[in-house]
Amino acid sequence: MGKATGFLEYARKENPYREAKERLADYGELHTAQLAEERACQASRCMNCGVPFCQSSFGCPLHNLIPEWNDLLWRGLEQEALARLLQTAPFPEFTGRVCPALCEKACNLADDGVTNRDNELYLIEKGFEQGWIRPRRPAEQTGKKVAVVGSGPSGLAAADLLNRLGHQVTVIERADRPGGLLTYGIPNMKLPKTVVERRIRLMEAEGVSFRLNTEADPEALADYDAVILCGGSRKPRSLNLEHMDAEGVRFAVDFLTETTKQLLAGEAGAGAKGKHVLVIGGGDTGNDCVGTVLRQGCASVTQLEMMPAPPESRLPGNPWPEWPRTLRTDYGQLEAQAVQGQDPRIYETTVKEILTDDENRMTGAVTVRLHRTPEGKMEPVPGSEQTLPCELMLIAAGFVGCEEKTLQRFGLSADGRGRLMPGDLSHHLDGKLFSAGDMRGGQSLVVRALADGRAAAEEVHRFLQGNSPKTL
């Protein structure tokens, strides 16, 4: 596979970021694409590995045939490479933009791994550009009707595969646009909404129906032969503090949704304009908030992370090919450095108190330094309190499970982590009801949701054929 000496001849080269201050002036894509010649050189770095960890459970939840399509790309057989990629990857235009690329860290080149994410993005975009991507309607119909509740990553992946297997698929979405997290949870500069819209139009041309602005009603679903719940892990983790109802305290997902809706309406979001912003949470969503408020012209932004700063390199207890917990500086933090002159993150720190005025509006926040005890608990450091100016607090502390109203509507019970995961780890809940994605497994990556949606679709297909979904 690839060029035998490619990894020796060519250095790893990712798609470069646009200059920070340039991209802060818009919500356009973060990166600039490289020419076909550069992509071929990067693909040639993929070696003929005896054991390609990139496509193992460590590297790719979708089990993409990475060495195979990298080899075809290197040899200039781009259409064939795309066809091989699409055998396992339902939406490379999504994962090519937002996946953290577990496969690249599992590569036998370790932290100098092949640029698989950029390569797959090149292939899918070339496919759309050249007209290689066309609607593919199933040759035969089974006559079975399946409802997919939720149009996020897992829902779209399940709907796509079930449709290809010949079932009549309807996706039910309560929002005004399909895409779920892909549309309203990920900012436009990271995943342009035109890209999501393009995929939805393609799925419609292939036979998938979308019902928007619709709440899933069990009675209305009675006519379907199977139902998959793909509503995500939408219950945000809150802070155990007073004044959580103060003006200026918001959950990150609500803020990002509002910003995207304004952008799609042709309006310039200004929710953070001129304000001192405090982002609670150091993950991807927190970083997205940092990048968003900077584009809105905030006065300052500070990001609090309760955990210690990750190490610069892998620790002995985190060996290759596992995903390394190392210090990453993402696009939002890089933009904050360009504007404010320093990284916005403060580690081992959390909010102790929200300060408000007589009208319950935020005026600031008291933060406290933490330290880890020998028992592994995070305890406050006495005398470390600091008051930070804050007129907008965005809570990006993750999610703790599916919403209560979903459980009540369908008469279901979640486990201790808020998941609809059967005890046998299948997707089958009861009768004709199934679950998939973050609703089943808890908050995770887009690529894992895609893989779980496809796995649920395969289980539903066996069920509709009269085979027990429990037989895996």
Give dist(CA 136, CA 453) in Å, integer: 19
Beta strands across the sheet bearing 249-251: 249-251, 392-395, 276-280, 300-305, 345-347
The token duo for 413 is 């019970």
pTM summary value: 0.95
Q: Which residues pair with 306 in a beta bridge?
A: none
Is the alpha carbon torsion for 297, 328, 10, 76 positive or negative? negative
| Domains, the chain | 6-130 (1.10.1060.10), 145-234+400-464 (3.50.50.60), 249-395 (3.50.50.60)
Contact 292, 255 (CB under 8 A): yes
Give dist(CA 396, CA 238) in Å, integer: 9
Using DSSP's 3-state secondary structure scheme, residue 65 falls into coil
Give dist(CA 440, CA 11) in Å, integer: 40
Length of the chain equals 472
Residue type, 2: G
The token duo for 333 is 């933090």
Question: What does the pLDDT profile of the chain (472 residues) look like in tens digits?
Answer: 668 899 999 999 999 999 999 999 999 999 998 889 999 999 999 988 889 999 998 899 999 999 999 999 999 999 999 999 999 999 999 999 999 999 999 999 988 999 999 999 999 999 999 999 999 999 999 999 999 999 999 999 999 999 999 999 999 999 999 999 999 999 999 999 999 999 999 999 999 999 999 999 999 999 999 999 999 998 999 999 999 999 999 999 999 999 999 999 999 889 999 999 999 999 999 999 999 999 999 999 999 999 999 998 888 878 888 888 889 999 999 999 999 999 999 999 999 999 999 999 999 999 999 998 888 888 999 999 999 999 999 999 999 999 999 999 999 999 998 999 999 999 999 999 999 999 999 999 999 999 999 999 999 999 999 875 443 2
Give dist(CA 213, CA 403) in Å, integer: 17
Contact 393, 248 (CB under 8 A): yes
Query: What residues contact residue 385 under an 8 Å CB cut-off, 6+ apart?
Result: 352, 366, 367, 368
Torsion angles phi and psi, residue 16, rounded to 5: -75, 150
In eight-state DSSP terms, residue 449 is H
The DSSP secondary structure of 93-106, one letter per residue, reads: HHHHHH---HHHHH
Query: What residues contact residue 300 under an 8 Å CB cut-off, 6+ apart?
Result: 276, 277, 340, 389
pLDDT of residue 468: 53
